[in-house]
Amino acid sequence: MTTTSERAVASRMRQMSQRISQSVFDGSRLRVVLLVDVHEGAQQQFLEAYEQLCNQVASVPGHVSDQLCQSIENPSQWLITSEWESAPPFLTWVNSEEHVRMVQPLHSCVRDTRSLRFHVVRETGGPAAEAASGARRLQTAPRIGDGVIRHALTFTVKPGSEETVAKILADYASPEPRVDDTTRLCRTSLFMHGNRVVRAIEVRGDLLAALRHVARQPEVRAVEEAINPYLEQDRDLDDQESARVFFTRAALPAVHHVTAGQEGADTERVALYYPALEGRGMRLAELLAQQDAAADGPDNPVLRSTIFQRDDVVVRLIDLRAGLGADPARMLGLGDHTRTAELLELLDTDALGADASSLKKRSALQEGDFARLLTLTRMDLITDRRAPAA
């Protein structure tokens, strides 16, 4: 018999699944699907490179198993599937420099790849499979999305060039929003914090197709060429491998998104930068996600929140309700005292300046401290552009 408390928990989970369109932090198993198009005649080379990679991945924490499949219709098409205990250990690995080095041998024999990631919601099979699935975590409820894919890129520029780079990034001509019949660019928001640049994009349809579409636009290429001399990481856009490595390292995936209501005409977009101590970025992002998931009510100034994380870089993009006034603690995602204390321990306050470092010495933050931390983490808006309605 289901108890009252169990029904309450189930009801809360259904409400959260309605509000949260994306999260990697529910603890359920992850299935990763990699579609690979191999150059003609390079199948054996690809197989050998995969065997080497497979042996290395087997020792990665959180990895459970993988399979390599070859198309029965086209031998150039391959499918790699892997299972992980949950999404965070996979994302920690796939976004690491170790992964960049591991997959290097595959590049010379692969024409194209496409990666898809799925939480396991249900599992069917015989008695043995059902018994095994009972011991493994499945996503408890389907999430309700809004049809928008959110992604970001981040990179740093040479100190002293920030003003020049900001002007270049603000003056570009917007690309054609229509990618194809099913894909469209919806919004691009550019922010800077010191010498760090963050470009957040929203897409309906195929993210990879949208990214490739943008890269081909002359106006975008001109901006990328113009900022090249100021980048801390060198790149050559005419060299496919150089460009690929740069954009691989620049990828800043969305790990959590929550929407609390409909956007109004006067909604304000804000980005906050939370530099984490080495190796603590994922946990910091999880704390912010927990706070976002728990926050609710008409007095909450945060209408939407998207958390992006890669390594020790955490960025929270929020849309604020108009007319509610500033609430620094809730804007920061720090409404809970316990989570606030842990977040300060995870935060690399030295990267935010001496004022932020002094906050770690406080036993509890006061209202003025939240306002100061909000000022220190808030990124400068360079441009925020929406595509016209289709």
- φ and ψ of 257, to 5 deg: -145, 140
β pairing state of 63-70 and 77-84: antiparallel
Q: Exposure pattern of 105-123 as b/e (b: 16+ CB <10 Å)?
A: bbeebbeebeeebebbeee
pLDDT value of residue 303: 87
Q: Which of 237, 253, 269 is the last residue of a domain?
A: 253
Using one digit for the tens of pLDDT, what is the confidence trace for 196-222? 999 999 999 998 889 888 888 888 899
pTM for the predicted model, two decimal places: 0.88
357 Cβ contact partners less than 8 Å away, ≥ 6 residues apart: 349, 350
Is the distance from CB of 62 to CB of 89 less than 8 angstroms? Answer: yes
As a residue count, the chain comes to 390
Same domain, 249 and 284: no
Query: How would residue 13 be classed by pLDDT, with cut points 50, 70 and 90?
Result: very low
Task: State the CB neighbour count (10 A cutoff) for residue 213.
Answer: 21
Using one digit for the tens of pLDDT, what is the confidence trace for 85-137? 999 999 999 988 888 888 888 888 999 889 999 999 888 765 555 555 555 67
Query: How would residue 263 be classed by pLDDT, with cut points 50, 70 and 90?
Result: low
Strand residues in 47-93 grouped as ranges (E): 63-70, 77-84
Q: Which of 230, 253, 276 is the last residue of a domain?
A: 253
- Report the DSSP beta bridge partners of residue 252: 152
Of the candidates 62, 306, 51, the one whose C-alpha atom is nearest the C-alpha of residue 189 is 306
Pairwise CA distance, residues 185 & 128, whole Å: 46
Using one digit for the tens of pLDDT, what is the confidence trace for 305-356? 999 999 999 999 999 886 555 688 888 888 777 778 888 899 998 898 877 7
Same domain, 315 and 238: no
Domain that holds residue 366: 254-381
Report yes or no on 82 lying in a domain: yes
Q: Which of 85, 111, 134 is the last residue of a domain?
A: 134
pLDDT value of residue 134: 52
Is the distance from CB of 307 to CB of 314 less than 8 angstroms? Answer: yes
CATH of the domain at 370: 3.30.70
- φ and ψ of 199, to 5 deg: -115, 110
